[in-house]
Structure 1
Amino acid sequence: MLRISRIAGPALLLVVAFTAVVAGLQFGGGADAPILLDPGAVVRWGLPIAKLFVNLGLAATIGALLIAIFAMSPKRDEFTLTLDFAAAGAALWAVASAFTGFFTFLAVRNQPIDFTSAFGDVLASFLTVTELGQAWLATVLIGAAVTVLCFAVRNPTGLAFVLVLAIAGLVPMALQGHSGGTADHDAATSAIFLHLMFAALWLGGLLAIAIAQPKLTKSRLTLVLRRYSTIALISFIVVAVSGYVSAEIRVENLSNLLTPYGLLVLVKVFALIMLGLFGAVYRNYAIGRLESSHTKSRGWFWWIVSAELAFMGLASGAAAALAATPTPVPEVVAADIPDSSPAAYLTGSPLPPPVSASNLFSLWSFDLIWVLICAFAIFFYLAGVWRLHKRGDSWPIHRTVFWVVGMLLLFYITNGGVNVYEGYLFSMHMLGHMTLGMMIPVLLVPGAPVTLAMRAIAKRTDGSRGAREWILLIVHSRYMAIIGHPVVAAGIFVVSLWVFYYTPLFRWATTDHVGHEWMIIHFLGSGYLFVQALIGVDPSPHRPAFPIRLLILLAAMAFHAFFGLGLMTGTGLLLADWYGAMGWDTGVSALQDQRIGGGIAWSVGEIPTISLAIAVAIMWRRSDGRASVRYDRKAERDGDAELDAYNEMLAERR
């Protein structure tokens, strides 16, 4: 019976997912023949089914890799079996992506299949020239590379990079499909990416445990399940929130829930609710009972797992059918936007209201990625402080205040009025940049998140790597030792500023959503490294003398001021075909706005500079005070022997 229950889970997943996608296509009309240019029934049905297997392969790969490097010990057979499953999932991902790309080509080009060189030339052109073809070609290549790496790499650190590569394979998929109209494209892309990634972690993690269970003893199984339960809870929250955002963009109102697309969305919502109930059963009942059970029989538990996988199959099949089903809200392209300004054609969104103090704090353009990052960062920080409090340890209140305020400021900059206007005005872009690179790190670094994590997170003893072990590995790595050196950190902080604005990186970050996300990560990270090198509380391999820190700070800020002055006095417009072509009559020319941005880069940067200089001076004074106290105590213990020896040396030299 137990053997049957182990097999039933993955089998139910496949059967239910396949049944759900076929039923969803039939009900929603996703596989109906178009009036013109019908690619054929094989393509119409084969394309969404192939996408379903792409999603399942991705889930098996990403979920298994995370479980392997986070929940399992490399010293045990469970680790090897999980990686073999990840490799199998990556192979399925690559093959299914190849079929999906081919079916997409047939659907888009309506090209009859033949074996002539002309057909091959058209296919090659589609895969290498068009964005859609390039996306599926990249997905196939990433899937193939991950397949090989899962077999070749067995070191947890190396596998972490393989996991990052696998997650990067989600980006081309997130840029396709129902990504919303042009005005909602960025929000829809972020929602799809998060939905795909955390659904994969959730489904793939459970599948990996089910596959690896022959190598797990009862004690190991309960331990791995507790670790997976944390991943599943976070995944449930992110999948629910990202799913809501996607539905809001494509369904828009309650009446549209009665359309075929809306009803399929309700099927996914039902599956999500059931999966949430399964998660509650795991955390509050099943794992505890499994751990305390004195019998070896675990069949009842695997039947629960099988039922959960069946609902995951239902959600996966409905998602694949939704991707092929017409949405009730039409996707509005730039040409159809009522606002006829050039800005609408460039950005895909109508012009916002004029800039004012009230609009800066009342208008919002939410970026779901940073909404969740800020929310989780505050929650886990406060949870760590609460854990210390419960066991009687103290944590300075000012560190908590710094961290929370810094995260709230990050939330505003990435979602508030500055984010609304930065695509239209260079000055607003520069205000956001300076806040990300200068002001937010000055608040976050004194929060000492690494120190808190080291004290609050339990150390593992089974050879696996949890959050504490991964954080320590990163902090003490040779790479961090290099880029965390004060001189190197200052160089990255200053040089990247010039490189970014005077290379194609600036255009990429301004016109492309992926580039915009990279820009936020880079400048937030470079600013954090620079501030950490100067006033960091967290452990660091380099602690230069305080006079050296002040010299580094002054040198970096001098180059920073030169950059701001260069923009203020410059006569050439950066991204003239973007900021200079908005057609927005604000009473200030694009060049004047750029000069205002230069003034912001110069003046706003001075406030954190002064704060950093004061902080370094205070730390210097406290360090001298502590050194003086230590010397006085030593003198009391040995009768000031050091001073007596020094006086004797002077007397001998006379």
Structure 2
Amino acid sequence: MAAAVAVALAALGAAGSFSGAFAAFQQFADPGVLARWGTPAAQTLSNLSAAVTAGSLVLAAFVLPAGRDARRALGIAGLAAGVWTVTALAALVLGTSWATFLPMSDPAFGTALWSYLTDGEVGRALLGAALLAALTSTTALLVRGPSGAAVALALVIGALGLQASTGHASGASSHDLAVSAMFVHLVGAAIWLGGLIGIALLGHRATTRAATVRRYSAIAGWCFAAVAVSGVVSAWIRLGSLKALDTDYGTLLITKAVLLATLGGAGWLHRSNVVRHLEGVERLDGGSRRAAGLFWRLAAVELLVMGAVSGVAVALGSTAPPVPDDPISDPTPAELVTGHPLPPEPTFTRWVTEFQWDVLFAFGCAAGVVVYLTWYRRLRKRGDRWPLARVVSWCCGMVAMFWVTNGGAAAYGHVLFSGHMVQHMVLAMVVPLFLVLSAPVTLLLRAVPPRKDGSRGPREWVLFLVHSRYGTFIANPIVAAVLFAGGMILFYFTPLFEWALTSYVGHVWMFVHFTLVGYLFANALIGIDPGPSRPTYPMRLVLLFATMAFHAFFGVTLTTGTALLVPEWFGLMGRDWGPSAIVDQQRGGAVAWGIGELPTLLLAIGVAVQWSQSDAREARRSDRAAERDGDAELEAYNAMLARRAERSQRSN
């Protein structure tokens, strides 16, 4: 571990010296050697400690069985988060000196620091990340078990999201794409690096357990894919062309890519060689130090390479890229408001061909298809049947999600209220319909074997969430209907709408919220997956038509309204095509009414079909029972009627 940190700092020094990123400025503007070299050194230590925090929490939440090792992993995460807090604050103070060209001994530095933390967007984001790191430290040291680890991990992801908004291209026209790519990159790298360090810090007992290494290796494989994809996107944003590889920035980028490829090869060896040998040793003698040696011979090299990658990455982030990340010069109104150019006037073809990429959701949709098809293939290999229609339904849902978050709907949804409403309706009404009909939870329960060592894998986490009090509450059909219908009012007529438009975090929250609420509502009505106690079929139709009426009311309200929502956004686009902002908003109301009706009708048909099938199954059950007992139920019913008739005659 000490060697990994030393390698990271040595790589930082070598890369920084090569690119001149930390060289002295002009005499009158040089903040001093402490700021120039202390800032990247503190940032490197901050990144390493953040990775240890994230990786240890992932181990506690998804890899290790509840007990001694999981508690130790939480303790490691808490201590690492404390180091993360201190080093992040140190990097923030030193970085302020670097950014303002003021030595910390300057009397004006205190005022500049306060202004940087309160007025500057980057300063506020970094301070927020440090505060979340402190909260993570407290949480990890107080909680017990995988649920507490998951809560602490959510705080880490939030801090990394804030950090992602401060990198290269944060002020350029590719801001949203750069932020999404950086976020995926940071999360993937932190879990990958931190998970291995966490296993190392747990010591001999963890490294000899084949299940621990196997589960970490699977997670690391996904992290490698995320880091590779997001790294390519980030590199293209900052390079602009392949010719730019012949620069100091390009040389460091190539160095980082080679190191990452080396790590990918080491991960493949973990998966194909080390895990197999560990499992063989466990079957023979229950584990030994020889088995730990199989792990350490590869892990030691991997840790050192990871340290080098960390140092090069910080130097790369401090080196000026070929494509400047300066704010847009002579911006258009749309660029001032949204941060990217106004797309051309929408046509049917452009709704299909225009793209506004989001690495997070693009990677998520691709991963969703791969995972579902893997589970489907697993069932087929062991001879189990799974309807092909469900596979098609899932793939259609992922394609629809990809189009909404990356295609024409994303391009026009950011500048037109009507386009935004298309996004909303597809996410809330169309995508969930495909997902519910594909029964992903049922497939998961059939394809993924249960764990028997007390740890929580995907199967255990899904069952825990489904049967938890919170999961049961929000999945209740009435609650789901209220969230589905009432959430629109709360979202559009409160500051949440503006937050979702102006903040990438809000943007992501909006997509997740719409999809999740739509899924809960559709699953309560026609779901195949295990879930809440579903109401009777007549009650389901009542809920559905009540929601349809609310949608119609919401659409009419927007169609007839004359007050523009978020006027400082939609009213300042400077569009030279299309209707005015208020007319477009009224069209958005018609979209909400029109697009919402077809999925609602399909849901109604689905409820009716399930109702009919339920009656048919009940009739068949009754027929089989009658064949077994000679229709005893009917005979008993006729005898009861005869007795009533006899009593009636006697009374007369």
After TM superposition, the score normalised by the length of structure 1 is 0.95
Q: Distance in 2 between matches of 1:133 and 1:405?
A: 42
Q: Give the secondary structure class of the aligned counterpart of 2:200.
A: helix
Residue aligning to 1:63: 55
Q: Give the secondary structure class of the aligned counterpart of 1:334.
A: coil
Alignment of 1:232-243 (within 5 A): 232-243=220-231
Q: Give the secondary structure class of the aligned counterpart of 1:169.
A: helix
Instruction: Tell whether 2:262 aligns with 1:274.
Output: yes
2:317 is aligned, of 304, 315, 323, to 323
Q: Which runs of 5+ in 1 are unaligned?
A: 1-9
CA deviation after TM superposition for structure 1 residue 181, in Å:
4.5
Residue aligning to 1:42: 34
Q: Distance in 2 between matches of 1:135 and 1:217?
A: 37
Contact 2:54-2:190 within 8 A present in 1 as well: yes
Q: Distance in 1 between matches of 2:502 and 2:178?
A: 16
Instruction: Tell whether 2:299 aligns with 1:305.
Output: yes
**Residue deviations 1:601-637 (CA, integer Å, cap 9, x gap):** 1011111011001000000000000011111111222
Residue aligning to 1:287: 275
Q: Give the secondary structure class of the aligned counterpart of 2:567.
A: coil
Instruction: Tell whether 2:344 aligns with 1:346.
Output: no
**Residue deviations 1:418-465 (CA, integer Å, cap 9, x gap):** 111111111111111111111111111010000000000011111111
Instruction: Tell whether 2:213 aligns with 1:225.
Output: yes
Residue aligning to 1:4: none
Deviates more, 1:586-595 or 1:328-337: 328-337
Residue aligning to 1:370: 361
**Residue deviations 1:159-218 (CA, integer Å, cap 9, x gap):** 111111111111221110213543100000011111111101000111111111233373
CA deviation after TM superposition for structure 1 residue 26, in Å:
0.8
Deviates more, 1:15-24 or 1:618-627: 15-24
Kindly provide the amino acid, as one letter, of the partner of residue 325 in structure 2: E
Kindly provide the amino acid, as one letter, of the partner of residue 532 in structure 2: P
CA deviation after TM superposition for structure 1 residue 639, in Å:
2.2
1:193 is aligned, of 183, 187, 193, to 183
Kindly provide the amino acid, as one letter, of the partner of residue 199 in structure 1: A
Q: Give the secondary structure class of the aligned counterpart of 2:383.
A: coil
Q: Distance in 2 between matches of 1:204 and 1:483?
A: 34
Q: Distance in 2 between matches of 1:145 and 1:409?
A: 37
Q: Distance in 2 between matches of 1:326 and 1:561?
A: 53
Residue aligning to 1:593: 584
Alignment of 1:64-103 (within 5 A): 64-75=56-67, 77-103=68-94
Instruction: Tell whether 2:483 aligns with 1:489.
Output: no
- Pair 1:217–1:581, CA change in 2 (3 A): closer
Residue aligning to 1:254: 242
Contact 2:8-2:308 within 8 A present in 1 as well: yes
Contact 2:133-2:155 within 8 A present in 1 as well: no
Kindly provide the amino acid, as one letter, of the partner of residue 197 in structure 1: V
CA deviation after TM superposition for structure 1 residue 69, in Å:
1.7
Q: Distance in 2 between matches of 1:182 and 1:597?
A: 30
2:611 is aligned, of 614, 620, 633, to 620
Residue aligning to 1:419: 410
Q: Distance in 1 between matches of 2:516 and 2:289?
A: 49
CA deviation after TM superposition for structure 1 residue 565, in Å:
0.7
Q: Distance in 2 between matches of 1:391 and 1:538?
A: 22
CA deviation after TM superposition for structure 1 residue 156, in Å:
1.4
Contact 2:8-2:307 within 8 A present in 1 as well: yes
Q: Distance in 2 between matches of 1:354 and 1:113?
A: 52
Residue aligning to 2:471: 480
Instruction: Tell whether 2:205 aligns with 1:215.
Output: yes
Deviates more, 1:639-648 or 1:302-311: 639-648
Aligned-residue sequence identity (percent) comes to 45
Q: Distance in 1 between matches of 2:129 and 2:339?
A: 26
Give the aligned CA root-mean-square deviation in angstroms: 1.7
Contact 2:164-2:179 within 8 A present in 1 as well: yes
Deviates more, 1:327-336 or 1:428-437: 327-336
Q: Distance in 2 between matches of 1:171 and 1:558?
A: 39
Contact 2:427-2:515 within 8 A present in 1 as well: yes
Contact 1:335-1:345 within 8 A present in 2 as well: no
Q: Give the secondary structure class of the aligned counterpart of 1:182.
A: coil
Contact 1:12-1:306 within 8 A present in 2 as well: no
Residue aligning to 1:358: 349
Contact 1:360-1:416 within 8 A present in 2 as well: yes
Contact 1:71-1:466 within 8 A present in 2 as well: yes
Instruction: Tell whether 2:510 aligns with 1:516.
Output: no
Residue aligning to 1:3: none
CA deviation after TM superposition for structure 1 residue 505, in Å:
1.0
- Pair 1:458–1:587, CA change in 2 (3 A): closer
Residue aligning to 2:233: 245
**Residue deviations 1:511-533 (CA, integer Å, cap 9, x gap):** 22221111111111111111111
CA deviation after TM superposition for structure 1 residue 333, in Å:
2.0
Residue aligning to 1:543: 534
Alignment of 1:325-474 (within 5 A): 325-337=319-331, 341-474=332-465
Q: Which runs of 5+ in 2 are unaligned?
A: none
Residue aligning to 1:134: 124
Q: Distance in 2 between matches of 1:481 and 1:405?
A: 28
Instruction: Tell whether 2:548 aligns with 1:557.
Output: yes
Kindly provide the amino acid, as one letter, of the partner of residue 314 in structure 2: A
CA deviation after TM superposition for structure 1 residue 107, in Å:
2.1
Q: Give the secondary structure class of the aligned counterpart of 1:577.
A: helix
Q: Distance in 2 between matches of 1:329 and 1:501?
A: 37
CA deviation after TM superposition for structure 1 residue 543, in Å:
1.3
Kindly provide the amino acid, as one letter, of the partner of residue 544 in structure 1: P
Contact 2:60-2:145 within 8 A present in 1 as well: no
Instruction: Tell whether 2:172 aligns with 1:182.
Output: yes
Q: Distance in 2 between matches of 1:645 and 1:601?
A: 55
- Pair 1:641–1:567, CA change in 2 (3 A): same
Deviates more, 1:226-235 or 1:587-596: 587-596
Contact 2:207-2:213 within 8 A present in 1 as well: no
Q: Distance in 2 between matches of 1:537 and 1:18?
A: 54
Q: Distance in 2 between matches of 1:251 and 1:48?
A: 22
Alignment of 1:602-621 (within 5 A): 602-621=593-612
Contact 1:48-1:323 within 8 A present in 2 as well: no
Kindly provide the amino acid, as one letter, of the partner of residue 382 in structure 1: L
CA deviation after TM superposition for structure 1 residue 133, in Å:
2.5
Contact 2:524-2:532 within 8 A present in 1 as well: no
Contact 2:277-2:294 within 8 A present in 1 as well: no
CA deviation after TM superposition for structure 1 residue 580, in Å:
1.7
Contact 2:129-2:158 within 8 A present in 1 as well: no
Q: Give the secondary structure class of the aligned counterpart of 2:494.
A: coil
Q: Distance in 2 between matches of 1:322 and 1:473?
A: 42
Q: Distance in 2 between matches of 1:587 and 1:287?
A: 60
Q: How many residues align?
A: 638
Q: Give the secondary structure class of the aligned counterpart of 1:464.
A: coil
Contact 1:334-1:349 within 8 A present in 2 as well: no
Q: Distance in 1 between matches of 2:80 and 2:530?
A: 39
Q: Give the secondary structure class of the aligned counterpart of 2:329.
A: helix
Kindly provide the amino acid, as one letter, of the partner of residue 229 in structure 1: S
